[in-house]
Chains A and B, each alone.
Chain A
């Protein structure tokens, strides 16, 4: 079974600073990987996804993530944080050996300081 670990349940950054959210996965086969964002009292919005094409994936709102097979990682970055980036972020893995069932990490809450 695949699993996802998000390192750091809470990240605080200054406006304009780099945002780095860490995600590691365990898998015996190349997975599909996703980052979703959840604003307060809302559902999940897809930020970006990796599906075995380019290892550097660009998403919405200036976010990008890099798939590193050797490190089994899929970290999310944004060069310059904006106040509107304050939200909870979830990394998820889709398991090709289990009908692509989606498994989520525990989430990382991002706060942005003015």
Chain B
């Protein structure tokens, strides 16, 4: 049973560029959540997608946007990259919109120069 997968593993961008990160949920899961984990900190919730719609959002600017596809996979897009966007971006999947446990992928390490 494949777990949560994310691509790419690492990414280097320059300020002002745009980036797209991808996530495939665990088999049987239909909800995807995205988190940003800055160095030395805990993960911070960005947003959650369920039934192809953004259902919840954390305290992140509109430069952060996402999408969920009919097969439940998801993308995170970040526009106009800032140095402060450098972080590990984690995707988590779960079943339904609610109390089910979230399972995390290995993350994408984004470095903005």
Residues of A whose CB lies within 8 Å of any CB of B are 32, 34, 36, 41-46, 49, 51, 90, 92, 94, 96, 98-107
Contact assessment for B99 and A32 in the assembled complex, using a CB-CB cutoff below 8 Å = yes
Q: Tell me, rounded to whole Å, the shortest Cβ–Cβ distance linking A39 to chain B.
A: 10
Known contacts: A90-B42, A104-B42, A106-B41. The answer to whether A44 contacts B33 by CB under 8 A is: no
Most chain B CB atoms below 10 A, which of A36, A43, A92: A43
Residues of B whose CB lies within 8 Å of any CB of A are 4, 6, 33, 40-45, 48, 55-56, 58, 90, 92, 97-99, 101-107, 109
Given contacts A92-B42, A101-B48, A106-B42, 8 further A-B contacts (CB under 8 A): A43-B105, A44-B92, A90-B43, A98-B56, A99-B97, A101-B58, A102-B33, A103-B45
17 pairs, A vs B, C-beta closer than 8 Å: A34-B101, A41-B109, A43-B4, A43-B6, A44-B92, A45-B104, A46-B101, A51-B99, A90-B43, A92-B42, A99-B48, A99-B55, A100-B98, A102-B33, A104-B42, A104-B43, A106-B41
Known contacts: A32-B99, A94-B99, A99-B56. The answer to whether A44 contacts B45 by CB under 8 A is: no
Contact assessment for A43 and B42 in the assembled complex, using a CB-CB cutoff below 8 Å = no
Chain A positions within 8 Å of B33 at CB level: 102
* Chain B: CB-nearest residue to A96: B99
Partner of A43, one of B45, B58, B90, B99: B90
